[in-house]
A and B are shown apart, each in its own frame.
Chain A
Amino acid sequence: MDKKDAGFDRRDFLRAAAVAAAGGGALLAAGAGQAERMVWQIDPAKCTQCGRCATTCVINPSAVKCVHSTEICGFCDLCGGYLLPTAKAQDTGAENELCPVAALKRKYVEEPFFEYTVDEDLCVGCAKCVKGCAQFGNGSLHLQIKRDLCLNCNECAIARSCPSKAVVQIPLREAYRVKSFGAPEAHK
């Protein structure tokens, strides 16, 4: 064994000092522990429905799904989010559906209302329906990053490619920015 390893010498002191300094620095960086757990979310107000959420997420299919705030839904028969603008009939025929993967489901409620729900197993987060709903309807459909699917990458690939900077990092407790009357609700 090397002699100078015995006991606590100058080098050890320097090491300890270095560690202390680094530790202090780290705490500084951590804002003295103020830093909360941040998660990625889409700001529905900024989203311009470019469709990149479907293609740029690191997982496949994307962790971004369409969510539906039924409290601002019109339950219209002619739904801009469900039907192609060129649709010849208002039914569930594939030729009339806007959703490329038929993830948006339509169910008759009562004359003249229809319920629309999203099948997240199919949804790829392309925002086609979101745009249709915003343009022709109430804007009750919108995209959101599903926390259970998202890997919460250090640098979100979607955020990087989002042309309208709609993907933002927010504290977990504020997570799920969904459209609704009133303020964005926490998910509990």
Chain B
Amino acid sequence: MPKPDPKPNRFAANPPAWRLSVAVAAVAGAFCLVVSALLVLNYVQVQRTSPLDNPELLALRAKLVEATGDDTAALVEQVRVLDLLARGALFTSQETLRTGAWALLAGAVVLVAALRLAARFRPIPPAAPFAPPPSEGAYWLTRARARELALFFGGLWVVAAVLAALFTPTGFRELAPAAAPAGEQAAAAPDAGAEAAPPAAAAFPSWDEVKKQWPNFRGPEGTGIAHVAAAPTAWNVETGENILWKTEVPLPGFSSPVVWDDRVYLTASDETTRVVYCFDANTGAKRWEYAVGDLPGSPGQLPKYNEETGFAAPTMALQGDLAFAIFSTGELVCLDKEGKLVWGKHLGVPDNHYGHSSSLIVSEGVLVVQYDQKKDPKIFGFNLADGSEAWVIAREKISWASPICPETPLGRMLIVNSSKDVAGYAPGTGKLLWQSKCLDGEVAPSPAYGGGVVFVANDYAMATALRLGGAADAVTAEMMWEYDEVLPDTSSPLVTEKYAYLATARAEISCLDRETGAQVWLQELEDGFQASPVLAAGNIYIVDMMGVMTLFAEGPEYKQTASIPMGEEAGATPAFIEGRMFVRTKANLYCIGGK
């Protein structure tokens, strides 16, 4: 007799048991449906607005803030009641979710169990899916259809991908930060008498041409590098040794001299007048002077005159025959070589507690005016010819630094300090290329640049070196090193082949390794520095507040070439053209030559 089958027949039906389990399943199913519906409802409610965000309660709280005196007590009562309700609601809803979840789980377990039993008690006996063996073709047909379907869906993937490509915003490359588009032509004022803008403005001179000149603060690129083969190293103001000429400058001003061909320019001012002087570079004779009169858009009111700054702190910029000057009053003028006003405008009295001091620079046929002030700071790009706006950059912070415009591997770049950051712009369009929030305090030193390295520093902040990288359309500025031993408060840093130099108001000069930031040497001198260092023919020239010009060799140790008193205080940075140097002291302008 056969042994009992170890596996009972799994296909034996049992109708009564089946009916029972189906009934149970039905009940459990209904239960689950109801519970889950309730849960979802609760969940959605709480999700949409948390009971704590009950608008009524929020409104009451707001009202209570305003409330005063007798109505307060009542309000307080209401708030307390509602608040209690709200919190109650929150915790009950959480409780509900928890218990509901458990209930649902239990229900689901029962349901599944019942269904399984039901299936067990009314099994589908094993049988071929279709009585006749699959028609010979059927088998291959299925495979063929599967194949086609697979292909079809493969196609769908592709379509989906392409659609995705079409319907997504992409390319953050294009997404350059907003540089305000060229604003509507600002009121430019061609001088009534003056003939149309001189041709010089139209075709602006080549870079090689500009390099020979000293067109703006700290030289051609504004980086304190003079492109000269020789510069004077010995002179004496008493004996007149190597002093080619000396001219008295009637009015004071902190602006530095600028030179183009045979013309030297200066600005000066007192409480009431603002003047542009033009001297003959060869003789020192004053060619002409232009006193700024009433300009269009002038509010007819001057800012507070600050002895520290005066109105003539910003240095001029030159381009061929055109000379541009701005004063701390907000007056901006363009003069031709005869001293006639080509155009002029008033940029509005700057909101600046020391007085506006950022110098001008010309690049890519645009006059750049850094007009960072307390309220609504801006950088303007004006067309040389008529002073119309080429572009405007909205800025965030005030500053006293000047823009520089060096030639970088990523093209000519406008580099500007503010009291929070240093940023690079495309001079042609004013488009922001990069930005680094590495400055703080009240920034007067301008940025320095050399060999792909931007170097900025400020007292009560840090000296930071950044390496420019990336592509012309995606410039990156990564921090190389920081330094905070000695920091300048007005004197701008200088970057050379290997080194970076700082000169401080505490009479320290420090030389750092350009790559590592390691301090190569630190030298303490007599008096503090306001003016900025300039590298000319292998020597670095810097004049201190007392007017002593110090020359030291550019290099890994401090080697003083000369230290020559100019006889009076000096705050301006000297200008260099081949073989000659122009120094502005408190009351005089010197032209110094000699080997």
Do residues B80 and A101 form an inter-chain contact, with CB atoms below 8 A? Answer: no
Given contacts A94-B80, A95-B79, contact A101 B64 (CB under 8 A): no
Complex Cα gap A86–B67 (Å): 11
The 8 Å CB contact of B83, one of A60, A61, A95, is A95
A95 and B94 within 8 A (CB):
no
B595 to chain A, nearest CB (A): 61
- Cβ contacts under 8 Å, A94 to chain B: 79-80, 83-84
Contact string, A70-108, partner B, CB cutoff 8 A, digits 1/0? Answer: 000000000000001010100001110000111000000
Tell me which of B52, B80, B84, B94 contacts A100 (CB under 8 A). Answer: B52
B64 touches A88 (CB 8 A): yes
A102 to B90, CA, bound (A): 12
Chain B residues positioned under 8 Å from A102 (CB to CB): 87
Min Cβ gap A104→B in Å is 13
B97 pairs with A60, CB closer than 8 A: yes
Q: Does B122 contact A (CB under 8 A)?
A: no
Across the interface, do B52 and A101 meet the contact criterion of CB distance under 8 Å?
yes
The answer to the question of B99 belonging to the interface, with a C-beta cut-off of 8 Å to chain A, is: no
Specify which chain B residues have a CB less than 8 angstroms from the CB of A100 in the assembled complex: 52, 87
Q: Is the CB of A93 within 8 A of B97?
A: no
User: Which A residues touch B395, using CB under 8 A?
Assistant: none
Query: How distant is the Cα of A88 from the Cα of B79 in the complex, in angstroms?
Result: 13
Q: A95 vs B75: C-alpha distance in the bound complex, in angstroms?
A: 9
Say whether B72 faces chain A, with CB atoms less than 8 Å apart: yes
Of all chain B residues, the one with the shortest Cβ separation from A102 is B87
Within 8 Å CB of B84, what residues of A? Answer: 94
The contact size tier of chain B is 10 to 19
B61 at interface by CB-CB < 8 Å: yes
- Contact A86–B65 (Cβ < 8 Å): yes
**Complex CA distance for A61 and B46, rounded to whole angstroms:** 13
A27 to B75, CA, bound (A): 66
Is the CB–CB distance between B94 and A93 below 8 Å? no
Instruction: Using A60-B94, A101-B87 as known contacts, say yes or no to A93 and B80 having CB atoms under 8 A apart.
Output: yes
Chain B interface mostly: helix
CB distance from A132 to the nearest CB of B (A): 15
Kindly identify which residue among A61, A84, A86, A88 contacts B94, using a CB–CB cutoff of 8 Å. Answer: A61
A61, A88, A101: which contacts B72 (Cβ < 8 A)? A88
Contact flags B58-91 to A (C-beta < 8 A → 1, else 0): 0001001100000010011001100110010010
In the complex the two chains form, is B80's CB within 8 Å of A95's CB? Answer: yes
Interface range, A side:
10 to 19
Per-residue CB contact flags for chain B residues 525-539 toward chain A (1 = under 8 Å, else 0) read: 000000000000000
For B53, give the chain A residue with the smallest CB separation: A100
Q: How far is the CA of A100 from the CA of B75 in the complex (A)?
A: 18
Task: With CB as the reference atom, state the residue of chain A lying closest to B75.
Answer: A95
**Quick one: closest A residue to B93, CB to CB?**
A60
Distance in angstroms from A84 CB to nearest chain B CB is 8
Residues of A within 8 A of B61 (CB): 84, 95
Which B residues lie within 8 Å of A60 (CB)? Answer: 94, 97
Of listed A88, A93, A94, A95, residue having the most chain B CB within 10 A = A95
Bound state CA distance, A164 and B61, in angstroms? 30
Q: Which of B146-162 contact A (CB under 8 A)?
A: none
Interface set, chain A 31-65, CB cutoff 8 A to B: 60-61
Q: Which residues on A sit within 8 Å (CB–CB) of B94? A: 60-61
What residues of chain B lie closer than 8 Å to A101, measured between beta carbons?
52, 87, 90
Nearest-CB distance from A42 to chain B (Å)? 22
Complex Cα–Cα for A100 and B51 (A): 10
Q: B52 near A95 (CB under 8 angstroms)?
A: no
**B residues less than 8 Å from A88 (CB atoms):** 64, 72, 76
Chain A residues with CB below 8 A from B80, complex form:
93-95
Partner of B76, one of A61, A84, A86, A95: A95
- What's the nearest-Cβ distance from chain A to residue B78, in Å? 9
Scan residues 83-137 of chain A and give those whose CB is less than 8 A from a CB of chain B.
84, 86, 88, 93-95, 100-102
Task: Point out the residues of chain A lying under 8 angstroms from B97, CB to CB.
Answer: 60
A88 to B61, CA, bound (A): 11
Q: Smallest CB–CB gap between A173 and chain B, Å?
A: 33
CB closest residue in chain A, given B83: A94
Q: What residues of A have a CB within 8 angstroms of the CB of B76 in the complex?
A: 88, 93, 95
Chain A proximity of B90: nearest CB distance (Å): 7
Is the beta-carbon distance between B87 and A95 smaller than 8 angstroms? no
Within 8 A of A (CB), among B87-106: 87, 90, 94, 97
CA distance A18 to B61 in the complex (A): 68
Least Cβ–Cβ distance between B329 and chain A, in angstroms: 41
A157 to chain B, nearest CB (A): 15
Chain B residues with CB under 8 Å of A95's CB are 61, 64, 75-76, 79-80, 83
Give bound CA distance, A60 to B65, whole Å. 32
A163 to chain B, nearest CB (A): 19
* A146-B574 Cα distance, complex, nearest whole Å: 65
**Minimal Cβ-Cβ distance residue in B for A54:** B50
Nearest CB of A to B54, in Å: 11
Over the window 21-34 of chain A, the binary record of Cβ atoms lying under 8 Å from chain B Cβ atoms (1 yes, 0 no) is: 00000000000000
Nearest A residue to B76, CB-CB = A95
**Residues of A contacting B64 with CB < 8 Å?**
86, 88, 95
Q: Smallest CB–CB gap between A59 and chain B, Å?
A: 11
Chain A nearest CB: distance from B42 CB in Å? 12
B67 CB to closest chain A CB, in angstroms?
8
C-alpha spacing A84/B87, complex, angstroms: 17
> Chain B residues with Cβ under 8 A from A93's Cβ?
76, 80
Minimum C-beta distance from B225 to chain A (A): 42
Listed A/B pairs (23) with beta-carbon separation below 8 Å? A60-B94, A60-B97, A61-B94, A84-B61, A86-B64, A86-B65, A88-B64, A88-B72, A93-B76, A93-B80, A94-B79, A94-B83, A95-B61, A95-B64, A95-B75, A95-B76, A95-B79, A95-B80, A95-B83, A100-B52, A100-B87, A101-B87, A101-B90
The residues of A with any CB-CB pair to B shorter than 8 Å are 60-61, 84, 86, 88, 93-95, 100-102
With A94-B83, A95-B83 already in contact, 20 other A-B pairs whose C-beta atoms are closer than 8 Å = A60-B94, A60-B97, A61-B94, A84-B61, A88-B64, A88-B76, A93-B76, A94-B79, A94-B80, A94-B84, A95-B64, A95-B75, A95-B76, A95-B79, A95-B80, A100-B52, A100-B87, A101-B52, A101-B87, A101-B90
Question: Which 8 A-B pairs have CB atoms at the shortest separation, nearest pair first?
Answer: A94-B83, A95-B79, A86-B65, A94-B80, A100-B52, A95-B76, A101-B87, A95-B64
Q: List residues of chain B with CB under 8 Å of any chain A CB.
A: 52, 61, 64-65, 72, 75-76, 79-80, 83-84, 87, 90, 94, 97
